[in-house]
Chain A
Amino acid sequence: MTTYSLPLSKRKRAVKTRPPRDALFIAAACALGLIVLVAVAAAVIPFAGDPARIVGPRLSPPSAAYPFGTDALGRSVLARLLEGTRTTLVLSTLAVVCTAVISVILGLVAGYAGGWAREVIMRLSDVLYSFPSIVLAILIAAVVGPGQAAVLSSIVLVTVPLMTRMVSAAAMSVAKRDFVTTAKISGVSAPVILFRHLLPNVSGTIAVQGTYALSVGILVEGGLSFLGYGVQPPRSSLGLLIQEGGSYMLQAPWLLFAPAAVLVVAILSINLIGDTMRDRLDPRETRSLV
């Protein structure tokens, strides 16, 4: 009797398991969680007061009565900051969800179908990719007029090209694998292959790209509102608050620093979370040159 393959015994057994520890990731997640929690809680229980109400003298510095000071109209900075944070987060999250839906459909089709469908989708995403994000946002603001709709559509159009490319690349490599070929041969329909076989296998890419898109979304909202074409007063958003803060910088620097700090911490946390997710998804080896 002849055997043609080498006997396979159980490979390297795991001796003990160490929990993955990443202090940076935990810190980032806590910071972001705190920002989201406080901003959302303020909508339910208005502990910081009404952001539209004039509560005291104009431009008074932070004190016990006005924890973050008051703005140029005498409104509470804390209340406006919480409202602004909420607006920014809601707008960018909403936009990223739209981006994800569009990109996943386009990316899966491009990655699976290839050929002309892919070519068309990639050219379209190249067209959008050719505009610097803030320039594209300005073009959109010119068409739809300043406001939340401009912010929302800008974020979607700015983030769609990159995410579509990444999803399509991931889908393409999955589509080459044997289980997809097998499914195809056994007559499984294209939508089923796309959503049952490809989608779960590119979900990691979607999560990572979605996270990065969220930080881009906050940046775009900030930039557009900062230029005056995003969220319009009397509503507030982080970008708008920073722009207002900038104009009273010399008399009342707290107007600038509070929203700037929230914005930077939010973007930084999201980027760090994205980095960690990417490293988990695609663990990198390293090589020493010694």
Chain B
Amino acid sequence: MTANAPAAPVVSLTGFSAEYRTRLGVTRALDGIDLDVARGELLAIVGESGSGKSTVSQAIGRMLPRVCHVTSGSVHVLGRDIASLAPDAIRALRRESLGFIPQDPIASLNPTMRIRRQLELALRPLGRPTDLESLTELLASVKILEPDRVLRLYPHEVSGGMAQRIAIALTMAREPEILIADEPTASLDAQVRDEILTLIVDLVQRSGASLIWISHDLGAVRRWCDRIVVMHQGRIVEEGPAAQVLDEPRADYTRTLVAAIPGRQDPTTKEAE
């Protein structure tokens, strides 16, 4: 399959537009998005709330909410137009190639089940081992200290960072080719954020997967990512290598964004000096 040749993008959005239709009216969410993600690339999508970055991440898995309607364009994942896939085919695609890391990790776990049971339920259909030893090993691989104890807990009994490690373990166990993380540290304490990000990037680099990371933490994005896409009001206003976009922003909006990074000088005032 030519689509899987190294040069071909793993994810590709072409002229993709979508709008939210609710009782209150119609709101344009995405406006002609063109975006390619290469194999093994670490891509960050940044922008303020409501800029459409989450909608992009949902569109890649065909996970858009009901009220969101695609008005034009297409999304190709691994060379396949996902709009044309039958329910079973899209499920297989999500199962085998896509990995989502949730924003609120505790809520992403079933509150009525112990962690061990949830892992078993999620892994068994994939034909993966679900015995105690393998599960302990899985949790240890995401640097959970007492895996035996954690397996016996309910989601409301673990911390946010712990829950995120479990969610990451659940996702990475399937060895996805494309990992989508929508603000994976938004609900976490500052001190665990770095640990979680390090863990994600480490796992992604080791497996050779592509990472699409939705964030508004520009500092962290600059540290980890190859390329940045800046979104504003449903459009891509700027994209390029991380350092270049953040150090020499071309679009006005990017400049405002960069100026907002704490402890960082506004590039325009720097030039004026």
Contact = CB atoms under 8 A, between A and B. Distances in A.
Nearest to B46: A6
Contact of A4 (B23, B49, B260): B260
A196 interface: no
A14 B25 contact: yes
B257 interface: yes
A115 interface: no
Nearest to B27: A12
Interface residues of A, number: 25
A280 B24 CA distance: 11
B85 to A, nearest CB: 10
B233 interface: yes
A25 to B, nearest CB: 13
A17 B264 contact: no
Interface in A1-33: 1-9, 11-18, 20
Contact of B269 (A1, A9, A11): A1
B66 A286 contact: yes
B90 interface: yes
A139 B40 CA distance: 75
Nearest to B88: A290
From DSSP, what is the main secondary structure of chain A's interface residues?
loop
A287 B66 contact: yes
Given A15-B28, A17-B25, A288-B66, A4 B262 contact: yes
Contact of B260 (A5, A15, A20): A5
B120 to A, nearest CB: 20
Given A286-B66, A288-B66, A12 B50 contact: yes
B266 interface: yes
B87 interface: yes
Contacts of B233: 9, 12
Contact of B26 (A2, A18, A20, A280): A18
B36 interface: no
Contacts of B197: none
A282 interface: no
Contacts of B257: 6-7
Given A2-B264, A4-B262, A8-B48, A285 B27 contact: no
Contacts of B256: 7
A20 B23 contact: yes
Contact of A11 (B50, B66, B67, B260): B50
25 contacts: A1-B266, A1-B269, A4-B260, A5-B260, A6-B216, A6-B257, A6-B260, A7-B48, A7-B260, A11-B50, A12-B28, A12-B50, A12-B234, A13-B27, A13-B28, A14-B25, A15-B28, A16-B25, A16-B26, A17-B24, A17-B25, A283-B23, A285-B66, A290-B90, A290-B91
Interface of A: 1-9, 11-18, 20, 280, 283, 285-288, 290
* 3 nearest A-B residue pairs (beta carbon): A14-B25, A12-B27, A11-B50
